[in-house]
Structure 1
Amino acid sequence: MEWFQAVVLGVLQGLTEFLPISSSAHLRIYPQLFGWQDPGAAFTAVTQIGTETAVILYFIKDIGRIINAWTRSLFGGGTGSARMSASAPGSVSAGKHRRLNYDPAEARLGWFVILGTVPIVVAGIALKDVIEGDFRSLWIIGTTLIVLGIVLGIADSVGSKNRSVGDLRLRDALLVGLAQALALVPGVSRSGASISMGLLLGLDRPTAARFAFLLAIPAVLGAGIYEWPSAMSEGSVYGMGPTLVATVVSFVVGYSVIAWLFRWLNRGSFAPFVTYRILLGALTLILLTTGTLAPFA
């Protein structure tokens, strides 16, 4: 059964990691609904390596340009200026280079990802025991699903959505990074919190989502590597084999979800995700009140 459960949880992780509905909440709620044991924070962190690998592959060209520009900016790449190209919506691709041999906007984006990652790293280290303990209470998860769902709905409604990736500033990166740190609480949703802040700062939907996904790469990979020994130990819920299977499955499913999400954001809103979050959160709280679910598995 543990191999079957691992496949199901891998699919669940892949389906929910990039949608603003909280993958960690789903990996906490659904196993208990099925009568399974809580897979734990370490299992969740490792399976997220699969979905983040999907992000890396999906944005591989953007990431390559950002790393190249950021590296060249450290060692000097000529003098002068360059401007961003507006040829592709949300793209961080190069503009017309003049005297620089890199695009300063892309180098700046590299710094923004680094600096925006600092809040979640600091909070993750400081709150490690609480994250793996009290924060996994279904009372907290049900509540955060509803509250952050409402926040996402408000942000999607009131945000001006007139700023693209070329308009990002250091202040934006730090604020989105602080929002991402809230995702250490299951139910918040890493993408949901980051996208909500981006929308409130006036970013358009594709840009808010793109920056949220790029910003998550260092934090998620770091957490997965850190939790790897715990997830693979004999005392873990699933052990090495099933955990690796879940990670591979989450990669395959996650890649498809990213592609779908960006097609959706070009024409749709976040309203369906807001509704789903509120309904799932309310259902969780009702089941807790009636004793059908327990706060901890």
Structure 2
Amino acid sequence: MSFFHILLVAIIQGITEFLPVSSSGHLILLPNLTGFADQGQAIDVAVHIGTLGAVVLFFWSDVRSALVGLPRLLTGKIDTPGSKLAFLLIMATIPVILFGITLKLTGLDDAMRSMAVIGWTMLGFGILLWWMDQRGPSEKTAAGWNLRDALIMGVWQAIALIPGTSRSGITITGARHLGYERSDAARLSMLMSIPTIIASGVLLGAEVAGNADMQTARDGAIAAVFAFFAALLALKFMMQLLRSVSFTPYVIYRVALGIILLAIAYS
């Protein structure tokens, strides 16, 4: 891979991983729109590691709390904020793991990687995000997150395995529907991404570990670094923007891109 190609993949992944616009959809579209070869799973793992580092750093106080609470959780005790958070994050990850395994075993994950599918999911789930954001109440905070809501948001997150849906977008949609205010909906969505990215990275990493070489490792390291900084900037931008505006700007982008992709797909 050329340096420009690595840079492009890393920046796209970093920016779109946490914004509600679908990172996987953009990365699938990249070779279709530019003529570049698919970046491959090794680079996918690397950029996910980069974005994982960014979200862990940005929400370090919450991550640290969950890590401190994890030993108590392993002893069966959920009696501290940290152990509760760790428990809820694990429970919220179970649906996406089960659905991901199902898609992998049936081969449906590859069948859905088309421009038409991405166009429809960009458009449809973008409109759904706007609807839930505008009509959803804002009566809950992240401190009141409970098992029922974690499992419901986990099911929403599983839908994001359909390309173009957006993991952050669909979990924010689910959180707004449940009544969480905007910034806390985004915060819970970002925290839910951590175990999900880890699970995805382990799965993909196991597949590419045997074929890794020095060139792949170098390319991966470059991709991870640029993805880290791009994701960190995107997180800061979104969380600051939510103090004054809704998710409507992202919805407008999704709808416009979805319409363009559908026009190309059916032309």
Common topology (TM > 0.5) = yes
Partner of 1:8: 8
Show the 5 A alignment for 1:65-144: 65-72=65-72, 75=75, 104-128=80-104, 130=107, 132-144=109-121
Question: Would the aligned equivalents of 2:65 and 2:81 in 1 still touch at CA under 8 Å?
Answer: no
How many residue pairs match? The answer is 265
- Whole-Å separation in 2 of the counterparts to 1:172 and 1:132: 27
One-letter amino acid of the structure 2 residue matched with residue 66 of structure 1: A
Partner of 1:37: 37
Q: CA deviation at 1:105?
A: 3.5
1:169 corresponds to which of 124, 135, 146:
146
Deviation larger for 259-268 or 186-195 = 259-268
Q: CA deviation at 1:223?
A: 1.1
Partner of 2:28: 28
Q: CA deviation at 1:158?
A: 0.8
- Whole-Å separation in 1 of the counterparts to 2:118 and 2:16: 15
One-letter amino acid of the structure 1 residue matched with residue 21 of structure 2: I
Q: CA deviation at 1:18?
A: 0.6
Deviation larger for 127-136 or 113-122 = 127-136
Partner of 2:137: 160
Question: Would the aligned equivalents of 1:7 and 1:246 in 2 still touch at CA under 8 Å?
Answer: yes
- Whole-Å separation in 2 of the counterparts to 1:45 and 1:17: 13
User: Counting helix residues as a fraction of each chain, which structure ranks higher?
Assistant: 2
Show the 5 A alignment for 1:197-236: 197-231=174-208
One-letter amino acid of the structure 2 residue matched with residue 226 of structure 1: L
Question: Would the aligned equivalents of 2:153 and 2:175 in 1 still touch at CA under 8 Å?
Answer: yes
- Whole-Å separation in 1 of the counterparts to 2:4 and 2:133: 37
| Structure with higher RCO (Cα < 8 A, 6+ apart) | 2
Identity of aligned residues (%): 34
Q: CA deviation at 1:241?
A: 3.0
Q: CA deviation at 1:2?
A: 2.5
Question: Would the aligned equivalents of 2:73 and 2:87 in 1 still touch at CA under 8 Å?
Answer: no
- Where does the alignment leave 5 or more consecutive residues of structure 1 unmatched? 78-101, 291-297
Q: CA deviation at 1:75?
A: 4.6
Show the 5 A alignment for 1:277-296: 277-290=254-267
Q: CA deviation at 1:157?
A: 0.6
1:253 corresponds to which of 218, 222, 230:
230
| Cα RMSD, aligned residues only | 2.4
One-letter amino acid of the structure 2 residue matched with residue 121 of structure 1: I
- Whole-Å separation in 2 of the counterparts to 1:230 and 1:243: 15
Q: CA deviation at 1:30?
A: 2.7
Show the 5 A alignment for 1:259-278: 259-278=236-255
Query: Equivalent residue of 2:160, what SS?
Result: helix
- Whole-Å separation in 2 of the counterparts to 1:140 and 1:167: 36
Q: CA deviation at 1:38?
A: 2.8
Aligned in 2, Cα 1:42/1:189: closer, same or farther, shift over 3 Å? farther
Deviations 1:175-219 (A, max 9, x none): 100111111111010100101000000001111111111111111
Question: Would the aligned equivalents of 1:58 and 1:255 in 2 still touch at CA under 8 Å?
Answer: yes
Partner of 2:52: 52
Question: Would the aligned equivalents of 2:50 and 2:224 in 1 still touch at CA under 8 Å?
Answer: yes
Deviations 1:37-70 (A, max 9, x none): 2335664344222101111111122211122234
One-letter amino acid of the structure 2 residue matched with residue 108 of structure 1: K
Question: Would the aligned equivalents of 1:10 and 1:246 in 2 still touch at CA under 8 Å?
Answer: yes
Q: CA deviation at 1:131?
A: 5.3
- Where does the alignment leave 5 or more consecutive residues of structure 2 unmatched? none
Larger radius of gyration: 1
Question: Would the aligned equivalents of 1:45 and 1:224 in 2 still touch at CA under 8 Å?
Answer: yes
Query: Equivalent residue of 2:164, what SS?
Result: coil
